Structure 1
């Protein structure tokens, strides 16, 4: 594993101190519900993060971005509380959207859309996934039903989107729609929009197993949304390529944040096992419990190493599509085992809301699906195995 840089160590230490000393105290704040923390709570924490110098810590004052390895060191520490990434402005979907805008956005778009996001004053949403009932795009973006057609110097967008994280309350939207490239190929284009917009209507906010993201996850109808040509993010008809630019780093940063949450859950479970007694001794001294905590240490280290390896690949400039799929599968499954063991070690306390362990378990269960289910990533890797075999046959 590559040692972290001096600046990553410094920023990471500041972030960890802020999360442990300030953010953890908010975990029992009543301004949290089934659809995530309120925007008032988020802004209150971000004001404190700004004062502490840890707001959007992965993007430097000159606009430069930490390397992926450095980002991992920092984001793992922001994830030590489910509220940490929100407070520090390292949470999805904003973190991935900021990354994409930084890579693809025009200077004007960066001023109008990116700057408020980096400042922590605006939330964003990424409109790609569509309802299964409509036959729309989920893990297979080629099934996209939302369309954008050119009408003079404007584009008109129609369709429905599903599981759109943070749409309720977002100020910035990236809408992905199918477009006609005129060369017979299926193409898609990304559009930047100011929110709210009357043409983008939230049909309902879904009740889901997770509850860490403001605005929850929405079903959204897009009816005759008109946007000017300069609203296109990047080049027209290149939306699928830009999605790959965003998705690999974004799914890896999910791994970073939730690794931090599982580190904290394991700390809580360990403290419980070392102080709770049963059958004449501390729980940790019973092999059935001690071995679970030992397995947690192994899985935590393997997850850390997998993240570091994939981050190193991305830092070379490679898209890291296969590597990020491997990391997403390995890390999400390892974290699920860790969260499950933490609940089991703590027994009844583990399934209660008395600690964050129960929430971490729910969030990690959702993470195994978000940004591509385990099975889809394995299927994609299997196709690569077959392609590589044919190439070298």
Structure 2
């Protein structure tokens, strides 16, 4: 494995780093000020649209999509260091470059499984950044760590599907620009194969029977910049049968195909979050004195910073190896590594952020620094896309199988 970035990656890294320094980081306080003046906290601040226009102008757009017909045509290995850079401002940079979840996964689903009409109606405006989307799978009434548990019904009635169910923590659904849901439910709840009972359908937000009931908080944050996490109710919502994504019974397989790239994208950005935490730790340590000397001279602080650097370097190598395997042997061939980074990265980054918060004292848990919000995001990723324990269970079974 060659550890050097190729010429195209280096070129994009340089452009993206300059874009972050010149546009994104200065826009962070501006976005907060503008949001406070908006009629609805879920509306998009004007500066975000300005960032999107500048990113498109510079060619820093849809970097996540490996399909050159729709995106930048980058490999996972090429995209990894770019996603890490955007992770330094996770609530602004991914949106600015049209690389924010859940739109990324939804665009991948539509590009891979959508038919021509679905791609024209929904994928094209998503690629252009004109609309947002949501992926509705998680439910409050069941243990959604096991996706076969979902209870939402998708029943066929002539030329229509009737969707009934309750979902929550549906990312992006509070954003008024969210126009389409990809909904996972059961079309064959009594089928003999529990992984063939589910299907996915496209449900426009304005469909009668669809109610975005409330915003769900994460440690008190509503994640306005991301578009929120909502509870959504589908009460006999009807859509044409042509809104089926792929085939009936294919929902579970599509979900797995969607979540593979999503998991590594999150891990890439988490490394960027950790890098920002280390930077903030170092700046704080050299600027504050306690007990007669700079915090940077305190042994415990030095240990925190050293351990954080070692951890980030380890995680980055594992993520890059995973990206390389996905490119060379496919997602199935990289299954163990995808699960390994999904387990290791959020857990380790939460630890780094926790130390950074501790070093900042009361400021660390305040709104004056980004650490508390970064912590909430990183901690959530120990649950999102499958909780750690599910991945540990699967990975352990794969290891033990060699000896049985």
Q: Is TM (by shorter chain) over 0.5?
A: yes
- Corresponding residue for residue 305 of structure 2: 293
- Secondary structure in 1 aligned to 2:33? coil
**Residue 169 of structure 2: which of 155, 159, 163 is its match?**
163
Runs of 5+ in structure 1 lacking a partner? none
Rounded to whole Å, the distance in 2 between the matches of 1:231 and 1:353 is 43
- Corresponding residue for residue 94 of structure 2: 85
Rounded to whole Å, the distance in 2 between the matches of 1:313 and 1:152 is 45
Q: Cα distance, 1:164 vs. partner? A: 0.5
- Corresponding residue for residue 147 of structure 2: 141
**Residue 178 of structure 1: which of 166, 180, 186 is its match?**
186
- Secondary structure in 2 aligned to 1:80? coil
State yes or no: 1:264 paired with 2:276: yes
- Corresponding residue for residue 385 of structure 1: 399
**Residue 330 of structure 1: which of 320, 333, 344 is its match?**
344
Q: Cα distance, 1:263 vs. partner? A: 0.8
TM-score after normalising by structure 2: 0.89
Distance 1:199 1:5, change over 3 A: farther
State yes or no: 1:317 paired with 2:330: yes
Provide Cα deviations, 1:167-214, integer angstroms capped at 9, x if missing partner: 123112111111129863231111123223232111211122252653
**Residue 363 of structure 2: which of 310, 327, 349 is its match?**
349
**Residue 59 of structure 2: which of 47, 53, 61 is its match?**
53
- Secondary structure in 2 aligned to 1:22? helix
Q: Cα distance, 1:256 vs. partner? A: 1.0
Rounded to whole Å, the distance in 2 between the matches of 1:373 and 1:61 is 32
- Corresponding residue for residue 30 of structure 1: 33
State yes or no: 1:200 paired with 2:210: yes
Higher relative contact order (CA 8 A, sep 6+): 1
Q: Cα distance, 1:389 vs. partner? A: 3.0
Provide Cα deviations, 1:61-114, integer angstroms capped at 9, x if missing partner: 642531111121211111111311121121111112122222222222222111
Rounded to whole Å, the distance in 2 between the matches of 1:248 and 1:36 is 32
- Corresponding residue for residue 377 of structure 2: 363
Distance 1:3 1:106, change over 3 A: farther
Q: Cα distance, 1:284 vs. partner? A: 1.3
- Secondary structure in 1 aligned to 2:331? coil
- Corresponding residue for residue 69 of structure 1: 77
State yes or no: 1:130 paired with 2:172: no
Bigger shift: 342-351 or 90-99?
A: 342-351
Does the CA contact (< 8 Å) of 2:179 and 2:205 recur in 1?
A: yes
- Corresponding residue for residue 121 of structure 2: 112
- Report the aligned-residue RMSD: 2.2
Distance 1:61 1:68, change over 3 A: closer
Runs of 5+ in structure 2 lacking a partner? none
- Secondary structure in 1 aligned to 2:45? helix
Q: Cα distance, 1:237 vs. partner? A: 0.9
TM-score after normalising by structure 1: 0.91
Rounded to whole Å, the distance in 2 between the matches of 1:129 and 1:321 is 22
